[in-house]
């Protein structure tokens, strides 16, 4: 479904989650697996703050058969180029987009998640997950603290 002029953004794009944290070196965090059954597209947006000296950040999208991460596996081609402090990648904004046909739906994989890996030094980061092109609108708005028209 495309967004009509009269639709609110929050009626068409479901917020799958948002988090801001300072991630420590050695962090290997799994983002919660969310169902994509009502959506045709997903996007994970990462707003990176300061990357500590020598630090690195890697992010990959993964798919699973349920919200618990059963049989989770990486989605080919859905990873960022490693961000590094040495390359001046602090204060970057990156996005990974996904169409549901890129998932192994025939194999029962309809849940989307991700893995964040931080190496060497602390990294400040905000993570935002959205699912869009919904089959049935309006989508749930309970994840939003407030919506202002």
φ/ψ (deg, to 5) at 72:
-55, 140
For 99, half-sphere exposure in the C-beta direction (CA atoms, 13 angstrom radius) is 3
Cα(39)–Cα(43) distance, integer angstroms: 11
- The answer to the question of residue 2 being in a domain is no
Cα(149)–Cα(116) distance, integer angstroms: 33
Is residue 113 a contact partner of residue 32, using CB atoms and an 8 Å limit? yes
Q: Span 109-132, mean pLDDT?
A: 95
pLDDT digits (tens, 9 = 90+) for 78-119: 999 999 999 999 999 999 999 999 999 999 999 999 999 999
CATH number of 57's domain = 2.60.120.380
Two tokens, residue 33: 């697996």
Cα(43)–Cα(11) distance, integer angstroms: 16
Cα(42)–Cα(80) distance, integer angstroms: 15
- The answer to the question of residue 55 being in a domain is yes
- The answer to the question of residue 118 being in a domain is yes
Burial of 149 from C-beta contacts in 10 A (0-12 / 13-18 / 19+): exposed
What's the domain range around 100?
A: 9-134
- The answer to the question of residue 63 being in a domain is yes
The pLDDT of residue 6 is above 90: no
Determine the pLDDT at residue 29.
Answer: 87
pLDDT digits (tens, 9 = 90+) for 11-47: 889 999 899 999 999 998 888 999 999 999 999 999 9
Number of domains making up the chain: 1
- The answer to the question of residue 4 being in a domain is no
* More confident position, 56 or 6: 56
Determine the pLDDT at residue 149.
Answer: 84
- The answer to the question of residue 140 being in a domain is no
Beta bridge partners of 114: 31, 61
pLDDT digits (tens, 9 = 90+) for 59-77: 999 999 999 999 999 999 9
The pLDDT of residue 1 is above 60: no
pTM of the model: 0.89
């Amino acid at each position: 479904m495309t967004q009509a002029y009269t639709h609110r953004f929050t009626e068409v794009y479901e917020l799958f989650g948002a988090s801001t944290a300072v991630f420590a070196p050695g962090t290997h965090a799994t983002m919660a697996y969310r169902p994509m059954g009502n959506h045709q597209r997903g996007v994970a947006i990462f707003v990176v703050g300061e990357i500590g000296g020598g630090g690195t950040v890697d992010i990959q999208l993964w798919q699973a058969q349920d919200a618990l991460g059963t049989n989770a596996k990486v989605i080919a081609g859905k990873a960022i180029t490693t961000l590094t402090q040495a390359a001046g990648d602090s204060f970057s904004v990156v996005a990974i987009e996904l169409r549901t046909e890129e998932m192994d739906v025939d194999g029962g994989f309809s849940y989307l998640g991700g893995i964040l890996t931080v190496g060497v030094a602390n990294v400040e980061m905000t993570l935002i997950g959205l699912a869009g092109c919904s089959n049935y609108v309006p989508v749930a708005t309970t994840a939003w603290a407030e919506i202002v028209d």
